[in-house]
Amino acid sequence: MKKLKIIWNAIIPNNPVLIISIGLCSVIAVSNSVKSALLMTFAFSLVQIPSNIIVSALRKVTPNEIRVPIFVSVIAAFTTIAALISQAFFNPIYQVIKLYILLVVVNCIIIGRAEAFAYQNGIFDSFLDGVGNTIGYGLVLVTIAIVRELIGKGTLAGIQILPESYQPMLLMVLPPSGFIMIGLLTGTIETYLRKKGGKK
């Protein structure tokens, strides 16, 4: 039960994107199509979970003063792996969102979790925390991508969903709507948490 709590905490009450507002860059940038969003989540999980495990495994031998460079080296190694894997298997999508996959290395979520969780907790807990944060991040990213692609193009992952007569709202796949969508979602979840807090 306590273990499940770790995952749950990272998904809703401490959602990295909506509540703490970190790691926004890639969420807004790649959420204009479902395929890019899925590849981004995949690359993110390839970095977040293993780097949490390694940082946690090394926490007893990591000197406190140079911990940040060590975290960054570990994360950079896994980012390289994730970028090479995405390039090998999903090259067409990779070429579109290349910059954002390379920049997973400075994603504040991953460094933040290494510092705040993995550096203080055991290997298995860190693994669960990594899974939870990946789900929390992916859920927001894919949800926004589904809404934006459906309204902006009438398709989902390239498959036509809405009837042909639907006039696509082009604005939804252009940059501004990323900001607007994330603003609406943040507002919704903050209102939900405020109401829930008020009842107690």
- Indicate which single residue of 60, 105, 114, 150 sits in contact with other proteins (rule: CB under 8 A): 105
Cα gap 200→196, rounded to integer Å: 7
Torsion of CA 11, 13, 19, 22, to 10 degrees: -50
Binding mask 37-66 for other proteins (x = CB under 8 A): ------------------------------
- Nearest CB to other proteins, comparing residues 160 and 188: 188
* 7 or 147: CB nearest other proteins: 147
In contact, 30 and 97? CB cutoff 8 Å: yes
Give whichever of 19 and 142 is closer to other proteins, judged by the CB atom.
Answer: 19
Question: How far, in Å, are 27, 61, 174 from residue 68 at the CA level?
Answer: 24, 14, 36
Residues in Cβ contact with 81 at an 8 Å cutoff, skipping those fewer than 6 apart = 46
Q: Can you give the binding site for other proteins, defined by CB under 8 A?
A: 21-26, 28-29, 68-69, 72-73, 76-77, 79-80, 83-84, 98-99, 102-103, 105-108, 111, 174-180, 182-184, 186-187, 190-191
